[in-house]
Amino acid sequence: MIKAMLVTSIILISIAILIAVLRIVLGPSLPDRVLALDVIGVNIIASIAVISVLMNTRAFLEAILILGILSFIGTIAYSKYILRGVVVERKRNR
Amino acid sequence: MKINDVILQTITKVVVFIILTFGVELFFAGHNSPGGGFIGGLVLSSAFVLLFLVHDIETVQQGIPVDFKKVAATGVLFAVGTGVFAVLFGSAFLTQTFLTVNLPVYGETELATVLLFELGVALTVVGTVVTIILSISEDV
């Protein structure tokens, strides 16, 4: 019973990732694509958690943490690029 | 107009320490579980990249007055030094050894010279990644 539920949730998460990929390809503006990338990151983290429950192991928890960190930094970098045009500034107050 | 991003800077002050702690934890994960020098170095360098993103280059270099090219060079020196040290004792290059000691808190612990090699690898990765990020993202 619980296994069928977990497999169903993985399938649904995969469909969500596919829809987000569609948004990246079709997306009219740059913020749409950035938001879709963030959605993909969150969905990948959720699917890793479901898989680690399914396989009854704790080996993937560090992968979840690393993916969370990288997704966070990537979203910040894209947002800063949209907002200011540069990613790493030499001097602020402009 | 002066841009003011208080929320991002306040969040970063907490998150950077979480990332640094996780990087050190991955570095000490050793050779029996996922982790090690390379991955620990990558996570540590992502913390530095986050600092460089949120603040600017000059502010971060006031706080961390380190030339990251020299960090990478020091790491290579450590990593090669452990190899040459084994040659001085008549073993093959990069031969590693370990000893088991009885520490007060941790109990029986295995101290290996691989740790020094991994420290070199981690320093090299931190220096190289931060140098690459700063080089390719310089505003003209």
Cβ–Cβ under 8 Å, residues A44 and A67 = yes
Tell me the average pLDDT across A21-49: 93
Tell me if B49 and A94 make a contact (CB, 8 A cut-off): no
Q: Which residues pair with B109 in a beta bridge?
A: B101
Given a cut of 60, whether residue A79 has pLDDT beyond it is yes
Q: Report the mean per-residue pLDDT for chain B.
A: 85
**A92 — contact with chain B (CB < 8 Å)?**
yes
To 5 degrees, how large is the angle CA A38–CA A14–CA B46? 35
- Where along chain B do its domains lie? 6-136
Looking at residue B52, its amino acid is: F
Tell me if B57 and A90 make a contact (CB, 8 A cut-off): yes
pLDDT for B30 equals 65
On whether residue A19 sits in a domain, the answer given is yes
Tell me the average pLDDT across B20-35: 82
pLDDT for A50 equals 94
Tell me the average pLDDT across B91-115: 78
Phi-psi region of B20 (alpha: psi -120 to 50; beta: other; left: phi over 0): alpha
Tell me if A92 and B46 make a contact (CB, 8 A cut-off): no
Cα-Cα-Cα-Cα dihedral sign, residues B125, B131, B134, B136:
negative
Residue of chain B whose alpha carbon sits nearest to that of A77: B53
> Terminal CA-to-CA distance of chain B, rounded, Å?
20
CB neighbourhood size of A40 (10 A): 19
Q: Report the mean per-residue pLDDT for chain A.
A: 90
- Could you say which of A72, A73, A90 has the minimum Cβ distance to residue B56? A90
B40-77: per-residue pLDDT in tens?
999 999 999 999 888 888 888 888 888 889 999 999 99
pLDDT for A89 equals 77
Whole-angstrom distance, CA of residue B99 vs CA of residue B83: 18
B114-136 and B68-88 helices cross at what angle (nearest 10)?
150
Given a cut of 70, whether residue A77 has pLDDT beyond it is yes
Residues of B in contact with A92 (CB under 8 A): 3, 55-56, 59
DSSP H/E element including B101: strand B98-103
Residue of chain A whose alpha carbon sits nearest to that of B49: A73
Residue of chain B whose alpha carbon sits nearest to that of A78: B53
Residues of A in contact with B8 (CB under 8 A): 76
Residues of A in contact with B54 (CB under 8 A): 76
- Distance from the Cα of residue B7 to its chain's centroid: 27
Q: For the whole model, what pTM was predicted? A: 0.85
On whether residue A89 sits in a domain, the answer given is no
Given a cut of 70, whether residue A94 has pLDDT beyond it is no
Given a cut of 70, whether residue B2 has pLDDT beyond it is no
Tell me the average pLDDT across B77-96: 84
Cβ–Cβ under 8 Å, residues A67 and A41 = yes
Alpha-carbon dihedral of residues B67, B73, B78, B80, nearest 10 degrees? 170
pLDDT for B84 equals 87
Whole-angstrom distance, CA of residue A10 vs CA of residue A48: 9
Q: Domain total for chain A?
A: 1
Rounded to 5 degrees, φ, ψ at B101 are: -120, 165
Is the reported ipTM for this assembly greater than 0.85? no
Which residues form the domain of A25? 2-84
On whether residue A93 sits in a domain, the answer given is no
Phi-psi region of B30 (alpha: psi -120 to 50; beta: other; left: phi over 0): left
On whether residue A73 sits in a domain, the answer given is yes
